Amino acid sequence: MAFPVHRPRRLRKNENIRRLVRENHVTVDDLIYPLFIEDGENIKIEIPSMPDIYRYSLDRIDEELEEVVNLNIPAVLLFGIPSHKDEVGSDTWSEEGIIQKAVRHIKKNYPQLYVITDVCFCEYTEHGHCGVLCGHDVENDTTLENTKKQVVSHAKAGADMVAPSGMMDGVVKAIREGLDEAGFYDIPIMAYSAKYASAYYGPFRDAAESSPSFGDRRTYQMDPANRREALKEVALDVEEGADIVMVKPALSYLDIISDVRQNFNLPVAAYNVSGEYSMIKAAGKMGWIDEQKVMMETLTSMKRAGADIIITYHAKEVAKLLKGQ
């Protein structure tokens, strides 16, 4: 039977019935908030291409953390900007590295926050690439050995989860082995399983000072034209021991999120990346869109595609909106 027996508009008649039959909801429980922490003192610098997002030194980070806690955002993802860079990114495994100091500070003062550390080298190397160079390419297996040292140092500092973003082959296996050998069996891995070589990362590189000094990252990040390859990458990470798999970016890759959700039973994270954030902010500032509505519609699309977790720079705004502030 069709019209007039079936009238879909009956269930859209007013907001109450729309709320009752709504299929997907974004809640504060879905959110991870990225933080940029810079080595130094008295630093609070707004990122020019990311309005309302700042780089903080540890002595200024409390003002941000207190707001995150008060908004009941459950988790933060830490990115570090070190004072020292070298050819291999050795600050990543230093006991006095910026991430290690940040983790200790947060776990001591904000134990209710779940702390996830980004695991990569691009912010820490002089050349801006995600590992040890051999000529003009990243040497995969040598980078894996340094990654082991990095994740163990994060775990010793108190990290709750590690999130490898460098897209090295075998990185999840190497991390699992490194953590287990050091006795950190319970530290989960959120793998950047389908991470594309995307132009949407532009503002992040401004934020993290991580632009490569030559070339690009297309030999290790995925080609944006590829869909089937994403399932292969995710399957490998699942086999190697990933606990959560991620698709990055999110907005132009909703089909990938959907594919991953349909084919794997692990939690799926979507990274609502800097370029996606900045486009909404820029259009909102110009008055071309309703910024809040577009923000929520965008994040809802990620939930609808199948994401369980959304990493987003909008996290505080969303939490305030949901609280009615």
Residue labelled with tokens 């955002």: 73
d(CA 313, CA 311): 7
Phi, psi (deg, nearest 5) at residue 45: -120, 120
> Alpha carbon of 1 to those of 4, 13, 223: distances in Å?
8, 21, 46
Note whether 138 and 82 are within 8 A (CB): no
**Within 10 A of 181 (CB to CB), how many other CB atoms are there?**
11
Residue labelled with tokens 């040598």: 142
Q: Which residues are catalytic?
A: 195, 248
Report the Cα 125 to chain-centroid distance in Å: 20
Two structure tokens written together for 178: 């490194």
DSSP state at residue 223: P
**3 state DSSP class of 227:** coil
Contact residues for 15 (Cβ-Cβ < 8 A; gap 6+)? none
Torsion of CA 140, 146, 152, 158, to 10 degrees: -100
d(CA 250, CA 275): 11
d(CA 82, CA 91): 7
d(CA 77, CA 161): 9
Note whether 176 and 188 are within 8 A (CB): no
* Sign of the dihedral through C-alpha 273, 147, 101, 113: positive
Q: Give the max Cα distance, the chain.
A: 71
